[in-house]
Amino acid sequence: MSGSNDHIDDKARRYGKQAIVAAAERLQSGGLVAVPTETVYGLAADSTNAGAIAEIYRTKGRPDFNPLIVHVPNIDAARKLGLFNDLANKLAKIFWPGPLTLVVPKTSDCPVAPAVTAGLETIALRCPAHPLMQELLATSGLFLAAPSANKSGGISPTKPEHVKHSLGKAAPMILDGGPCESGIESTIVAIRDHDYQILRPGPITAEDLETSTGKVALNQTGEKIEAPGQLASHYAPSKPVRLDAMQPEPEEYYIGFGAIAGDFNLSVSGDLAEAATNLFASLHDADASDRPHIAIAPIPRSGIGAAINDRLKRAAQKD
Ligand code: TXA
Ligand code: MG
């Protein structure tokens, strides 16, 4: 799931202390900063500042019913915002810092602006592993609300240039951590008393969760869109996308996998973690190419392949 620490240290070095202090000051005065995490780039703001949160929604063109994830430096900070039962504590201890978001009931004195949770009684909390984001949390002393740093409904950014391209003139200061390691958004798990439900598949797989809790996730009811970012069409390029394509049609930009070469190969060796890292970059490249259509080779559904296929299905949905 994660690479060597040397790689992470390299990323941290891309941006110096001065820039982190400048970014922290911007956040403290209610501004926005785009910041790398181990999953995708986030558009961060002080979660307790209603004006700053309104600016996140405006910049992304995000519907106000779609709540934000709040990023915290550690589990003690998380407990100021959300109520952690035994199961939540266990998952946080095992997977934090890392690409797991926990949806738990809000504390009675939860200080985040109401718009962050879009009127829900629950809050989505994540303790990110990326050293730049961790440094920003420590330096600013803030709990940072941060959705992915792209226009609502678009492809999540895994490189600084994706942020610039997606947000255009509205792009704020970007802390450059190079490409994101996991490349796919965090797994979202809602705690349901002594059980849990996977609201969004991600780098922490269903198998990882089962092994660590000794429990299978509750079924999705499918009736209610509880994580509204899970609307059918999401992560969508501007061009039509064809899935499970064994070969390209003329006019198609072809994204391959393993032995199936293409204009872009997600992983020549057929490694699913590598494919996840490259997935959004491949969609950004396909969108920017001169080909009017996109086709993608079949990707196995095991492990993190579940999250990859989830994002692909949404990329291929029209609305
Ligand atoms: O990896 C990630 O999670 C990235 C990085 C930046 O941390 N963030 C991210 O945020 O993907 P965003 O806003 O693109 O997706 C957040 C998802 C949405 O689907 C939203 O509906 C869901 O989290 N969410 C937030 N609060 C929730 C809550 N209280 N209950 C259920 N779902 C919630
Ligand atoms: Mg997003």
Question: Tell me: the pLDDT tens digits for 198-209?
Answer: 999 999 999 999
Q: What would the mean pLDDT of 208-233 be, rounded to a whole number?
A: 72
Q: From the CA of 156, give the closest atom in ligand 1.
A: 14
DSSP H helices, 104-242, are: 114-117, 131-140, 160-167, 206-213
Q: Is 61 left (phi over 0), alpha (psi -120 to 50) or beta?
A: left
Which residues are close to ligand 2, an ion, with C-beta < 5 A?
148
The answer on pLDDT for 2 being more than 90 is no
User: When comparing pLDDT for 5 and 127, which is higher?
Assistant: 127
Specify the DSSP class assigned to residue 246: S
The answer on pLDDT for 226 being more than 90 is no
Q: 3-state SS of the chain: helix, strand, coil percent to 5?
A: 35, 20, 45
pLDDT, tens digit, 9 for 90 and up, residues 74-103: 999 999 999 999 999 999 999 999 999 999
Residue 17 pLDDT grade (very low, low, confident, very high; cuts 50, 70, 90)? confident
Task: State if residue 160 touches ligand 1 by the CB under 6 angstroms criterion.
Answer: no
Task: State if residue 197 touches ligand 1 by the CB under 6 angstroms criterion.
Answer: no
CATH topology of domain 3-213: DHBP synthase (3.90.870)
pLDDT, tens digit, 9 for 90 and up, residues 156-181: 999 999 999 999 999 999 999 999 99
Domain spans of the chain?
A: 3-213, 241-316
Q: What would the mean pLDDT of 237-245 be, rounded to a whole number?
A: 94
Q: What would the mean pLDDT of 127-150 be, rounded to a whole number?
A: 97
The answer on pLDDT for 224 being more than 60 is no
Residue 14 pLDDT grade (very low, low, confident, very high; cuts 50, 70, 90)? low
Q: From the CA of 62, give the closest atom in ligand 1.
A: 13
Share of residues in the chain with pLDDT > 90 (%): 86
The answer on pLDDT for 187 being more than 60 is yes
Task: State if residue 213 touches ligand 1 by the CB under 6 angstroms criterion.
Answer: no
